[in-house]
Structure 1
Amino acid sequence: MKTTVCAALALGLLAAASAAHAADAARARLDAFAKGLNSLSGSFEQQVFDPNGTAGKKTQGTLALEAPRQFRWDVVKPYQQQIVADGMHVWIYDPDLEQVNVRNQGVEEAHSPLTVLTDLKQMDVEYAATEQGERDGATWLRLKSKAKEPDFEYADLGFDAQGLARMTFKDTLGNRTEIHFADWKRNPAMPAGHFKFTPPPGVDVIGDVKPEAEVRPIKD
């Protein structure tokens, strides 16, 4: 199943003392991880589960984010796929099919659970965040979109001592995606054109590149 991220486990019951201790733990870790963050790169391992809990193949690859709304997601195993969001459009390139899909980068898509890492103020405007306690070696924060028609039901961000370690999200069709992160590099110098995409010669391009995309750069 070729499913990507452009981030559904049961809540742990905590004793009163533990709940008080964890009341702001995940949000505090998010704030610490995102402080001074303008760009981010790392690696990931992802697995998708259908509504019946059946697991798809694990995928592995690399990702990169840059404020305000750019991201790049490169799947390298067990197949290749590239997703590039340049702030105006989202490009999805499948080399096996020799096909590129392109669409306008909508507001909610631009403000995904990962891109909010570089813009916490916008996160607080667009998401309701609630503490989920500790489980599986991580402290969890749940994000639920305030949009009338959200693209996903919720996204859980899991933090360990090193920062963001995991993300679990459930889409509106009931599919659950679990992602493990590693090798984070904070504010790396991104190569020129890293968040630009030009369709390779000879591939089919499906969709239109339109100038009226909803995303606009953030004003200070």
Structure 2
Amino acid sequence: MKRSFLYRLGVACVLGLAVPAVVLSLPTEVEAAGPTAEEIAQRVQQFYDSSKTFQATFKQNYTIKVQNVQKVSTGKVVFEKPGKMSWTYDAPNGNRVVSDGTTIKVYEKENEQMFETSVKGSQYPAALAFLMGTGKLQKDFTLKLLNAAQMKFEGGYVLEGTPKEATPAYQKVLLYVDSATNQVRRVLILDAQGNRNRFDFSAPTVNQPVPKGEFDFKPPPGTRIVKP
């Protein structure tokens, strides 16, 4: 059975998918020197608190551990506060993930179906909530600063976040922070099965006008709508 695109995206955690627990191996924590994890998180939060919109291109690399398979996709993402997001995947993928702040829609082009659920009945992934103005890093996570050199990340810091409220959707989130701008250049979501869902953002812009209708998605005729 094919894994749902909703699960592969990692934004699938809005549905609270249950998965068995495993131990994840991560780089060592950085010794106290320079800014602390809390200080870096505060800088990041301040940057995005001052941003009404965030737009970027992205590259997604999803690794399915049990199958030893990697899936690579590209596209563009748009966030607008409060609670709006839009992921548009490049052809031939053609998938879409859209939230207008009230409803979340996940369209799978290949399967000709769309998952639709209300925001109130779902759970935003805390990894992205700070971008949409619906979450706070220091409130949502227990934070730790990892060794950026071990992670082969130049010019910044790597924050490991463990959700303070346990979720069956993912176990840890790694934020790769540009030290010069305090922007998050990469997000890595780790789930309990050992799968790795990585998003690299490029050409980011903030506080720029969002195209009209960006968060009002209608699937092609004949699409099967799946609701809880």
**The TM-score by the shorter chain falls in which range?**
0.7 to 0.9
Match of 2:93 among 46, 62, 79: 79
Return the offset for 1:87: 1.7
The 1:200/1:128 distance shift into structure 2, 3 A limit, reads same
Q: Contact conserved, 1:90 with 1:103, CA < 8 A, in 2?
A: yes
Instruction: Give structure 1 stretches of 5+ with no counterpart.
Output: 209-220
TM-score, length basis structure 1:
0.79
**Alpha-carbon distance in 1 for matches of 2:122, 2:34:** 32
- Residues 1:175 and 2:188 are matched in the alignment: no
What is the aligned partner in structure 2 of residue 48 from structure 1?
62
The 1:148/1:159 distance shift into structure 2, 3 A limit, reads closer
**Alpha-carbon distance in 2 for matches of 1:175, 1:87:** 28
1:83-116, Cα deviation, whole Å (9 max, x unpaired): 0012222111122332212122257733531231
Q: Contact conserved, 1:87 with 1:110, CA < 8 A, in 2?
A: no
Match of 1:23 among 19, 36, 39: 36
What is the aligned partner in structure 2 of residue 218 from structure 1?
none
**Alpha-carbon distance in 2 for matches of 1:64, 1:89:** 16
TM-score, length basis structure 2:
0.77
Code of the aligned partner of 1:85: S
**Alpha-carbon distance in 2 for matches of 1:206, 1:121:** 27
What is the aligned partner in structure 1 of residue 139 from structure 2?
125
Match of 2:185 among 155, 159, 165: 165
Moved more, 103-112 or 161-170: 103-112
Code of the aligned partner of 1:126: D
**Alpha-carbon distance in 1 for matches of 2:215, 2:107:** 13
The Cα RMSD (Å) is 2.7
Return the offset for 1:67: 1.1
What is the aligned partner in structure 2 of residue 11 from structure 1?
27
1:43-74, Cα deviation, whole Å (9 max, x unpaired): 11111112348232211111011112111111
Instruction: Give structure 2 stretches of 5+ with no counterpart.
Output: 14-23
What is the aligned partner in structure 2 of residue 187 from structure 1?
207
Code of the aligned partner of 2:211: P
Moved more, 96-105 or 184-193: 96-105
Match of 2:169 among 151, 175, 178: 151
Count the aligned residue pairs. 205
The 1:22/1:77 distance shift into structure 2, 3 A limit, reads farther
- Residues 1:90 and 2:104 are matched in the alignment: yes
